[in-house]
Amino acid sequence: MTLTFADGQQQELRLLITKLHPSAPVVLGFSWLCSTNPHVDWPSLTLCLNRDNPTDSGLVPFHVSPPSENSETTINQPQTPLQLRSRSAQLFVIYVRLGGSLKVLPALVDSGTSSVFVSNQLDL
């Protein structure tokens, strides 16, 4: 699939399908992170895709409450091939400005591992 951004930039993506946590419709895969090489500021949970002008990227941090040690997220719905369990999943939101308008990308950060990666359609 070819993803075209508002500024005309294009990126080839390979999409794999699985069930996601309801609050996080997108997973940023390792191969995409390696090829895109965005600037990530972990303390503020911001991701900058605009390498030319990072101060005008439109990416805004979202407050995250750390999970308790006993917290667990379970996804086990009918027709789900695998049950996903996470003891440290954290939800945050990435605000992206492309072509003048803000788009919200909720994301789930999980320290667990998964052999199945997913990408939903992004309406950028």
Predicted confidence at residue 74, as pLDDT, reads 40
Give me the chain's average pLDDT, please: 56
Which residue reads 């005008």 in tokens?
56
- What number is the average pLDDT over the span 40-46? 72
Q: List helix spans (H) across 1-124.
A: 30-36
Q: Kindly report the length of the chain.
A: 124
* CA-CA-CA-CA torsion sign (94, 47, 13, 109): negative
pTM for this prediction:
0.31
Residue 86 burial (CB count, 10 A)? 19
pLDDT tens digits, one per residue of 66-89 = 444 444 444 333 333 333 333 444
